[in-house]
């Protein structure tokens, strides 16, 4: 039976940060259920494209539509080998959902593999799971990590940090690094 990962996303998730890991995990035989609070299977979420084009922070453009493939209310956590938390703008509001926080806490309590990228770390901070952890995020999320009791490390955007069962990367250029680490945590062998 294939390993299965739960992926948390929502409207205005960063386009690459949902599309790339979703497709990459599928390509190595990992099943992925993408969910969003308040959404059902076959509902659409909007994505956003974040890029640096000369401003002090990223600019945001409308991305593609992404089809949710599992109803949020039907998630049974014991079916999943790991958790992937996408970035973009969705983390700032899906973290307000009590069940999202419970999901994050479950994966940490079970010491299951967890990957979070960019602003996705905003879903981890209110869950009370970062104390004593070393991780990275989009730099604007760094202070949130510190307030939550973690150690924030600023690294190049194409890198990842793994601390125990948690791997993190600052942004979508880090997909090769974070996915490679997540595969190891999941026990996925390639080649």
Q: What is the DSSP string of 34-82?
A: EE-TT--TT-EEEEEEEE-SSSSS-EEEEEEEEE--S-GGG--GGG-SE
* Cα Rg of the chain (Å, integer): 15
Q: What are phi and psi of 75, to 5 degrees?
A: -70, 130
3-state secondary structure of 51: strand
The CA–CA distances, whole Å, from 176 to 83, 116, 136, 173, 181 equal 17, 13, 15, 8, 9
Out of 50, 64, 119, 175, pick the active-site residue: 119
Taking the C-alpha atoms of residue 34 and residue 68, their distance in angstroms, rounded to an integer, is 6
Taking the C-alpha atoms of residue 164 and residue 57, their distance in angstroms, rounded to an integer, is 31
Measured from the Cβ of residue 138, the count of other Cβ atoms closer than 10 Å reads 22
Taking the C-alpha atoms of residue 147 and residue 1, their distance in angstroms, rounded to an integer, is 40
- Does 64 participate in catalysis according to the annotation? no
Which residues carry out catalysis? 119
């Amino acid at each position: 039976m294939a390993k299965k990962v739960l992926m948390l996303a929502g409207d205005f998730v960063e386009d690459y940060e949902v599309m790339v890991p979703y497709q990459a995990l599928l390509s190595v035989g990992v099943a992925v259920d993408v969910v969003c609070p308040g959404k059902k299977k076959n509902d659409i979420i909007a994505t956003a494209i974040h890029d640096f084009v000369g401003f002090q922070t990223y600019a945001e453009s409308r991305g593609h539509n992404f089809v949710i493939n599992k109803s949020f209310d039907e998630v049974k956590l014991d079916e999943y080998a790991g958790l992937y938390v996408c970035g973009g703008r969705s983390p700032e509001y899906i973290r307000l959902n009590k069940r999202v926080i419970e999901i994050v806490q479950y994966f940490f309590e079970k010491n299951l593999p967890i990957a979070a990228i960019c602003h996705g770390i905003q879903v981890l901070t209110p869950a009370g799971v970062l104390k004593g952890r070393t991780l990275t995020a989009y730099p604007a999320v760094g202070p949130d990590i510190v307030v939550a009791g973690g150690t924030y490390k600023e690294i190049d955007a194409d890198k990842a940090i793994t601390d125990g069962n948690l791997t993190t990367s600052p942004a979508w250029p880090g997909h090769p690094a974070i996915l490679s680490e997540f595969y190891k945590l999941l026990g996925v062998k390639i080649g």
